[in-house]
Amino acid sequence: MHQIAATFLEKSEIKASDLSHRATINFNIGKYNNAVKNGKLQFADLAVARERAKNIKWRAIEHLDNHLEEFEQNFTRRGGKVIWAETAEQVQQEILAICRAKNCKSIVKSKSMATEEVHLNSFMESNGIECVETDLGEYIQQLDGEPPYHIVTPAMHKSKEDVARLFAEKLGTDPSLTPEQLTLVAREKLRNKYLEAEIGITGANFIIADTGSVAVTENEGNARLTTAFPKTHIVLVGIEKVLPSITDLGLFWPLLATYGTGQHVTAYNSIFSGPRQEGEVDGPEEMYVILMDNGRTNILQDTVARESLYCIRCGSCLNACPVYKNIGGHTYDTTYSGPIGSVITPHLQGMDSYMHLSFASSLCGNCTEVCPVRINLHELLLHNRQKAVEENFTSGGEKFAWFVWKQGCTSRKMMNMASGKWKNFFFRRFFSKGWGDNRELPVFAAKSFNQLWKERHS
């Protein structure tokens, strides 16, 4: 077994038995479920809205090269600069080059999974540049030295008491502060960071081809501050985030808000179409958009897996997944966790190292059911499993075991030859460890139904 897979199984076993973790997650996801139920009421026909969104993303991905070139042309026309980056290392070097050109010592960064993907914070710090998270959840995680737990809610696994203890330890605050007071502490700490930073970095929920714009949606206003005060604004975005037209936001913003947080629309929705123009009183002097591949073209060339590029990062599949709710986000040890992470990570980081994630699913289909753009996630997990076998990433022992299993299951004579005693011995010998100490193995009857039928009707 690959070491990454072995570590995943070990962490899963520990986290699944952590009842306090389960209680916190169930509480937070329960609040989310209630909010989403109300948020869906804003759609006159939700099924039609989801189907339309899927069709728009289908057209965007099928003509991705044209839309990206159109975006670049329109964005640069207004003074913006576009950088194409194939790998995480290239992204890091491009951002570092901009920082050095600006003599940058401090960066403020709004919430961005793309920057987590390239481990930007640690890279900047290793080069003597402070990189501060300004989203409250991300700020909490940065203080604790942890990566985000969830795509949308980075600190979902922490209770308010956990956060109060963390602030007391790291910031010297009173450990009995309320959530409102803790928010005010974070606001006070971060306000000066906006004024000091030479560069602000954001992600993008969508990039708009026909206007050359970047669309960012948020609830705290930190992204607006990140883009307003520093003289340079850098956007890091995956190439799949493109939408053909600005009119598509009328559908995608409410869908993202409803399935992400249960809102009708998030509090702050901003569209950036370049640096400060003549006659404008605010905004950055320079604006860069880095279009990142980092394995996405691996998904693009797989005509089945390509559908996963429709994802709008709402996180609803994580909240619906029984596996995620039991083992948590950090157990995956990847940027993108849950069902969507299990689908795309093997393509982004290597099928040989991460194929085990595609097996970390009950295949209940709940992830597909809740996806706002109707990605067939459970079918894509099966597709990944098939690819892992076809590309010979399974062990010889596993192949032999399935061969024996196939021979036995396709031969009634062989199945009858193995009595219940031998079947029970076989399961205890080979499956007791994998099945786990907390579950009982199935017990086979002494005789099969086929044998009993023959005896009765001989």
Contacts of 45 (CB under 8 A, 6+ apart): none
For residue 351, tell me if it sits in a domain.
no
Percent of the chain whose pLDDT exceeds 90: 81
Domain boundary among 234, 265, 294: 294
The answer to whether residues 288 and 407 belong to one domain is no
DSSP assignment of 179-201, as one string? HHHHHHHHHHHHHHHHHH-SEEE
The answer to whether residues 425 and 279 belong to one domain is no
Backbone angles phi, psi at 167, to 5 degrees: -65, -40
- Distance, CA of 237 to CA of 208 (rounded, Å): 12
Partners of 233 in the β-ladder: 200, 287
pLDDT on residue 451: 81
For residue 9, tell me if it sits in a domain.
no
Higher pLDDT among residues 250 and 394, named by residue:
250
Domain boundary among 254, 271, 294: 294
Pairing verdict, β 199-202 and 81-85? unpaired
- Distance, CA of 127 to CA of 100 (rounded, Å): 10
CA of 336: how far to CAs of 91, 104, 278, 344, 410, in Å? 18, 29, 40, 8, 39
- Distance, CA of 96 to CA of 102 (rounded, Å): 10
Q: What is the pLDDT of residues 196-241, one digit of tens each?
A: 999 999 999 999 999 999 999 999 999 999 999 999 999 999 999 9
Count the Cβ atoms, other than its own, within 10 Å of residue 40: 16
The number of CA neighbours under 13 Å toward the Cβ of 295 is 16
Structure tokens belonging to residue 297: 């073209």
Confidence of residue 453 (pLDDT cuts 50, 70, 90): confident
Q: How far is CA 391 from the centre of its chain?
A: 25
- Distance, CA of 153 to CA of 136 (rounded, Å): 10
The total of structural domains in the chain comes to 2
**Residues 358 and 72 sit within 8 Å (Cβ to Cβ):** no
For residue 256, tell me if it sits in a domain.
yes
3 state DSSP class of 289: strand
The answer to whether residues 407 and 282 belong to one domain is no
The answer to whether residues 137 and 274 belong to one domain is yes
The answer to whether residues 290 and 157 belong to one domain is yes
Q: What is the pLDDT of residues 276-335, one digit of tens each?
A: 999 888 889 999 999 999 999 999 999 999 999 999 999 999 999 999 999 999 999 999
Q: What is the pLDDT of residues 71-122, one digit of tens each?
A: 999 999 999 999 999 999 999 999 999 999 999 999 999 999 999 999 999 9
**Residues 359 and 351 sit within 8 Å (Cβ to Cβ):** no
Residue showing tokens 């993108």: 336
For residue 427, tell me if it sits in a domain.
yes
Domain boundary among 294, 321, 351: 294
For residue 74, tell me if it sits in a domain.
yes
Q: What is the pLDDT of residues 329-385, one digit of tens each?
A: 999 999 999 999 999 999 999 998 999 999 999 999 999 999 999 999 999 999 999
| pTM (predicted TM-score) | 0.90
The answer to whether residues 287 and 428 belong to one domain is no
Confidence of residue 419 (pLDDT cuts 50, 70, 90): low
pLDDT of 413 above 80: no
Percent of the chain whose pLDDT exceeds 70: 98
- Picking from 354, 335, 359, 331, the residue whose alpha carbon sits closest to that of residue 17 is 331
pLDDT on residue 436: 61
The DSSP 8-state label assigned to residue 440 in this structure reads P
Structure tokens belonging to residue 35: 């909010």
Structure tokens belonging to residue 110: 């709004």
For residue 131, tell me if it sits in a domain.
yes
pLDDT of 433 above 90: no
pLDDT on residue 438: 67
For residue 126, tell me if it sits in a domain.
yes
Confidence of residue 32 (pLDDT cuts 50, 70, 90): very high
DSSP assignment of 138-151, as one string? HHHHHHHT---SSS
Structure tokens belonging to residue 263: 């809102």
CA of 405: how far to CAs of 286, 399, 429, in Å? 63, 10, 15
Which residue segment(s) compose the domain that 409 sits in?
403-456
pLDDT of 434 above 70: no
Q: What is the CATH number of the domain that holds 92?
A: 3.40.50.10420
For residue 384, tell me if it sits in a domain.
no
CA angle 333, 338, 340 (to 5 degrees): 110
